[in-house]
């Protein structure tokens, strides 16, 4: 894809052939919604649900217009309903993924599920808006990206968001009100990330609800900022 993967934009390295500008809040919102919309299609709008099983930054690709696409379906699973004696569901045998994004139940032999994808999406969402990788060296023992975020949420949410996400923003009008809208938007996004990455699969948000929450937060932000290209 023309603009490579989301990983090269959020975690550029010295080996990157070209410099990458920081992604603004609005652009990150657009990308997060693009990914959620793709998952909603896979989980709810096909003949049978499809589980991606390896959602991560490097599998999110960006086109010329910075529209995000979910790629690499090498580990994807079709979930077949157990409604007859001859039907079956995908088992956990051979399930792989990427450390940091794999839902905890997969390590205990659970079947592939849409809830498993939701965990990976929750980690991805937190990573997009904090700029912190789930495999960062600070995560030792029982510490993880969701637990790090929980420690600051909601009172100190602005302390954990990526300090580069405001680059390119162009506030207009009442600056105080606008900052409040940005704060409320980030609260919604971070809360959604935490709800998606719950330890128990039954407690995780459904992707359809995530799409609605993120779209609502984006519209409120856009109505206030009147940002042309942020």
What DSSP assignment string belongs to 89-157? ---STT----TTTS-GGGGGTPPP-HHHHHHHHHHHHHHHHH---TT-TT--TT--HHHHHHHHTTTTH
- Give the closest residue to 7 by CA, choosing from 98, 73, 140, 77: 98
Regions of the chain short of the pLDDT cut 50: 82-93, 168, 170-171, 227-230
Closest CA to 76 of 36, 105, 48: 48
- Residue 15 confidence (pLDDT): 61
For residue 220, the model assigns a pLDDT of 82
Write down the catalytic residue from 30, 34, 54, 206: 54
pTM of the model: 0.88
Given this model, what pLDDT does residue 21 score?
A: 81
54 has catalytic annotation: yes
| CA 120 and chain centroid, separation | 7
The neighbour count for residue 79, using CB atoms within 10 Å, is 17
d(CA 132, CA 139) in angstroms, rounded, equals: 10
pLDDT at 141: 86
Spatial separation of the C-alpha atoms in residues 212 and 195, rounded to whole Å: 14
- Which residues, including other chains, have CB under 8 Å from residue 209's CB and lie 6 or more apart? none
pLDDT the model gives residue 97: 81
* Paired tokens of 57: 């930054």
Q: Give the CA-trace dihedral at 3, 60, 74, 91, to 10 degrees.
A: 180
pLDDT number for residue 25:
94
Report yes or no: 194 and 150 within 8 Å, Cβ to Cβ.
Answer: yes
State the Cα torsion 125-134-150-177 to the nearest 10°: -40
Residues 6-10+21-225, CATH architecture: Orthogonal Bundle (1.10)
The residues pairing with 135 across neighbouring beta strands, listed in sequence order, are none
**The pair of three-digit structure tokens given for residue 147, joined into one six-digit string:** 């637990």
What is the residue extent of each domain of the chain? 6-10+21-225
């Amino acid at each position: 894809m023309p603009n490579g993967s989301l990983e090269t934009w959020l975690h550029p390295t010295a080996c990157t052939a070209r410099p990458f500008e920081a992604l603004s809040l609005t652009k990150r919102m657009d990308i997060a919604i693009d990914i959620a919309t793709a998952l909603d299609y896979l989980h709810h709008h096909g003949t049978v649900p499809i589980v991606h099983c390896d959602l991560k930054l490097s599998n999110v690709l960006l086109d010329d217009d910075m529209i995000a696409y979910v790629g690499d379906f090498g580990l994807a699973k079709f979930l077949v309903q157990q409604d007859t004696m001859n039907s079956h569901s995908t088992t956990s045998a051979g399930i792989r993924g990427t450390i940091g994004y794999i839902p905890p139940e997969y390590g205990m032999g659970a079947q592939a599920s849409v809830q498993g994808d939701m965990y990976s999406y929750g980690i991805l969402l937190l990573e997009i808006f904090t700029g912190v990788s789930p495999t960062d060296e600070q995560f030792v023992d029982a510490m993880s990206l969701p637990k790090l975020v929980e420690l600051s949420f909601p009172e100190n949410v602005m302390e954990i968001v990526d300090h580069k996400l405001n680059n390119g923003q162009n506030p207009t009008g009442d600056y105080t009100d606008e900052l409040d809208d940005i704060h409320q938007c980030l609260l919604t996004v971070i809360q959604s990330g935490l709800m998606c990455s719950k330890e128990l699969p039954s407690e995780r948000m459904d992707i359809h609800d995530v799409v609605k929450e993120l779209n609502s937060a984006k519209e409120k932000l856009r109505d206030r900022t009147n940002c042309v290209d942020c």
